[in-house]
Amino acid sequence: MTRSKNTIPVSERLLVIACGMIAREVLAVKELNGLDHLELTCLPAEFHYYPDRIAPAMDAAIVEAKEKGYRQIFAGYADCGTGGMLNRVLEKHGVERVAGPHCFAFYQGQAVFDVVGDADMTSFYMTDFLCRQFDAFFMKPLGLDRHPELIKDFFGNYEKLIYLAQTDDPELERVAENAARLLGLVYERRFTGYGDLTGVLVDAAARSS
């Protein structure tokens, strides 16, 4: 029987502090697996561009969560460019995270990424989130909407655009295809679903229930 979040004491909830780029996916895993006691809060998705901000923000978020009574906390992040700084914060608080270097790895599955990672070194990854936010995350911040001549400067070393699709959405696929065409890259789509994210969240939820 599904329980209302309000009937579950804070001390019995699992709080996932995640990157805003995977918020929709965390909620989808929650819904699909009936994780009624999982609660989500997010750090800004723009930290994708500022990984040095992730660890201190996570530190503050965990402290705040514990002050509110949360005892079970999980980090919805991989290392995400923090160079181990996030690990040190999480170890201090006894909090686990998703294994791997970044979401592009855990969406594919870390075991798969270990095999394909080297071959993908000259590939530009996109996800459902990045398709939805292509203009906001790439075109406008990089000035490509105003200065398309900069495309070669930013993307000239890439050979392929790989769309790691969490869902089957023709509109998002069109965005990815158009992005590949705009950037002058070979296009490839890989359906990943939610990858390792499902297993780690289900396991974390089971340990906290």
Sorted by sequence, the CB contacts under 8 Å of residue 146 that are 6+ apart come out as none
**Percent of the chain whose predicted confidence (pLDDT) is above 90:** 90
**CATH assignment, 5-102+196-208:** 3.40.50
Chain-centre distance for alpha carbon 67 = 26
pTM: 0.92
Is 40's pLDDT higher than 60? Answer: yes
Domain ranges of the chain: 5-102+196-208, 110-191
Is 151's pLDDT higher than 90? Answer: yes
What is the tens place of the pLDDT at every residue in 85-113? 999 999 999 999 999 999 999 999 999 99
Q: Helix crossing, 54-67 with 85-93: angle to 10°?
A: 10
Mean pLDDT of the chain: 95
